[in-house]
Structure 1
């Protein structure tokens, strides 16, 4: 009898013709998300007109001779795509166009993620882990979870790790240290301009000695915090301006980082950000999907309690919570459903 870690899993990537999926599929099949002992079948799902791109990706995956990859299924049939999956990376939403308001994007995507939630409910395993990566992702995660009620709410999340990795990369680059030597960076709130990158309790290792970032920077900390927050919030737009398209490889790598920690757990004393259904912690509205610092053990996340919130952080957390509540209400209204 094979051990649990050796049992075959089915992993869905929707929006599989997109650039994030192109990077994500290879990273997942190589073991970056689930470890080097987890065999899998990849389900690639997109619109029929994208079949050629998906077939090209399938051929490249096969040509890579990846030991963990047992099969690649290309389909535009949601029944086939969602059948018996253990993990879903859901990226099949419309992208924000120049001049498009955020609430227009909600109107475009909420029905897509209602349908994907219904597919999860009907065909996926009931322990399926779901990551939503389509804007506005926190609210689309809420919509998806609402329509898959038999899958535990704690099994739904978004890609908060990208904002975290951007922050960690910024700190490491400025201090000229390895990103592995930056710990306990916090991201609060929505994946939008209202997010709050919070380095107040972050720690760094410099010259083999551990420091609180605030202690290491001293009087420079206040300015650094402001510059860090601005850099993280603006990074996505900067990449679009430079490349003419949104983040691809970095988004895919962040998805793998988050899934790896979700599956394997976080080291003792180390917190990472995760967008989860709020239980009201830190004064946030309940039920919205809000990014908190979490610790993970045995596949279960727990919000880290007792972090001291200063006045500035309090105002930013409150603002982001209100924005998410407004987005949730707009999405529910768009679908003509009663708001609870």
Structure 2
């Protein structure tokens, strides 16, 4: 079978003549196939140069014709332009074209009209798609690589909308971002509408429905105060841009490994037109780590331990609270039907372990992980983001408690105006703080220490 590819400018008379001849051959010869590529004049030169570069050809005019060697598994064989195509057809089939110049010009004009109408129709169809705009900052971080396919899974958002993914990495490697874009597109996920990359704040957060910040601006050479000031400056810019460009119902998830509460606080201060409950700081990482150690202690899976609470400054002065924690599938003296659970504090009687070894394990967990993998946690970080987002979209499961840094309004004696990690659940698309939490004197001291540190961080960046 002879399969040819004919490509050319829509307004090219020579392309019209080659097209007319090839259509006639295809109608009359059972073993002749033609695939036509009609490019708009403004797109032609770029397309031609890219095609020739990919195939190692040298051709600079319209049309271009090549033969697909489909029966031999080889790459296309370049024939050339109109004259070479006519010679080839004359030599093989003894057929030539008698198309007049007048008809060639008429068909070329018709081709251009049809092409432009098709382009208008495509633009119109695209305008009917209302994608969900998701922005991820610091997109070159390992967490983003794991996060992208999870965000594009069916069922992650209500009604499974098409997703326009915006990958932002300020002053990042543009080639690496383009590579990430290519990988995302290569997955061919049905919900992915488009991927765009950004290395500056010029268009940042435009039309955003969801923003996930992964930025960590820590430098080993700089001191804590310098790192804090650099982080605050970046997030001031983010907050101002989010306030002016994002959708009013935008949701913002602040993740990362440093100054998470502070980042969220700075965003809130610089986005005054947005509701405070649209912003959360992620505390799932330390909660997951604590949950894993509790599970090991009880000889169950990590998924069997739930509702561990983290109070305070994520990554700073914080406190793990087990008053609501429960364990499923624990093989002890008391067992029950499927869904039966027991309070963790009723099973772990070793209070010394909780106050010593457990805290030591938590304090060294990330350092051990970093030493083994040579990078910060990424899989669990992405999983935590998705867990929070799923609860935000569909509501928390009955009895489920998450820990998130949210703006305090004075709950539990915590000073209002601080972004503080609290126990929350999601109802009807908004987070709420449960009221059945017991605050004893010991916990009150822990909360005061965390509040003092958070207030000091806020005061520090104001002075600078």
Q: TM-score normalised to the size of structure 1?
A: 0.89
What is the CA deviation profile of residues 269-315 of structure 1, one whole-angstrom value per residue up to 9, with x for unaligned ones?
22111110011111112111000001211111111123112333222
Q: Please, which of 80, 84, 93 is the counterpart of residue 203 of structure 2?
A: 80
Q: Please, which of 366, 378, 382 is the counterpart of residue 236 of structure 1?
A: 366
- Cα distance in 2 between the residues matched to 1:222 and 1:264: 39
**SS of alignment partner, residue 82 of structure 1:** coil
Aligned 8 A contact 1:32 1:257 in 2 = no
- Cα distance in 1 between the residues matched to 2:191 and 2:346: 45
2:453 is equivalent to residue 323 of structure 1: yes
2:423 is equivalent to residue 293 of structure 1: yes
The equivalent residue for 2:400 is: 270
The equivalent residue for 1:332 is: 462
Aligned 8 A contact 2:285 2:381 in 1 = yes
What is the CA deviation profile of residues 134-193 of structure 1, one whole-angstrom value per residue up to 9, with x for unaligned ones?
421101111111111111111111111112222222222332323332222111000124
CA gap of 1:48–1:108, structure 2 versus 1, over 3 A, is: closer
CA gap of 1:176–1:34, structure 2 versus 1, over 3 A, is: farther
Structure 1, unmatched stretches of 5+, are: 1-5, 335-340
Q: Please, which of 381, 387, 405 is the counterpart of residue 251 of structure 1?
A: 381
**SS of alignment partner, residue 350 of structure 2:** helix
**SS of alignment partner, residue 417 of structure 2:** coil
2:324 is equivalent to residue 194 of structure 1: no
The equivalent residue for 1:213 is: 344
- Cα distance in 2 between the residues matched to 1:39 and 1:187: 35
**SS of alignment partner, residue 237 of structure 1:** helix
2:236 is equivalent to residue 105 of structure 1: no
Q: Please, which of 228, 231, 241 is the counterpart of residue 119 of structure 1?
A: 241
How many Å apart are 1:199 and its aligned residue? 1.4
Q: Which moved more, 1:238-247 or 1:102-111?
A: 238-247
CA gap of 1:300–1:94, structure 2 versus 1, over 3 A, is: same
The equivalent residue for 2:141 is: 18
**SS of alignment partner, residue 432 of structure 2:** strand
The equivalent residue for 2:305 is: 182
Higher RCO structure (Cα 8 Å, ≥6 apart) = 1
CA gap of 1:39–1:229, structure 2 versus 1, over 3 A, is: farther
The equivalent residue for 1:133 is: 255
CA gap of 1:172–1:32, structure 2 versus 1, over 3 A, is: farther
CA RMSD of aligned residues (A): 2.1
**SS of alignment partner, residue 105 of structure 1:** helix
Structure 2, unmatched stretches of 5+, are: 1-128, 332-337
**SS of alignment partner, residue 292 of structure 1:** strand
Q: TM-score normalised to the size of structure 2?
A: 0.66
**SS of alignment partner, residue 118 of structure 1:** helix
2:196 is equivalent to residue 65 of structure 1: no
Aligned 8 A contact 2:239 2:268 in 1 = yes
Aligned 8 A contact 2:314 2:405 in 1 = no
Aligned 8 A contact 2:158 2:393 in 1 = no
- Cα distance in 2 between the residues matched to 1:173 and 1:13: 34
How many Å apart are 1:93 and its aligned residue? 4.0
CA gap of 1:324–1:227, structure 2 versus 1, over 3 A, is: same
Aligned 8 A contact 1:44 1:81 in 2 = no
**SS of alignment partner, residue 187 of structure 1:** strand
**Bigger-Rg structure (1/2):** 2
**SS of alignment partner, residue 236 of structure 1:** helix
| Aligned positions of 1:20-59 closer than 5 A | 20-31=143-154, 33-34=156-157, 37-59=160-182
**SS of alignment partner, residue 376 of structure 2:** coil
**SS of alignment partner, residue 163 of structure 1:** helix
Aligned 8 A contact 1:198 1:229 in 2 = no
The equivalent residue for 1:303 is: 433
Q: Please, which of 146, 156, 165 is the counterpart of residue 269 of structure 2?
A: 146
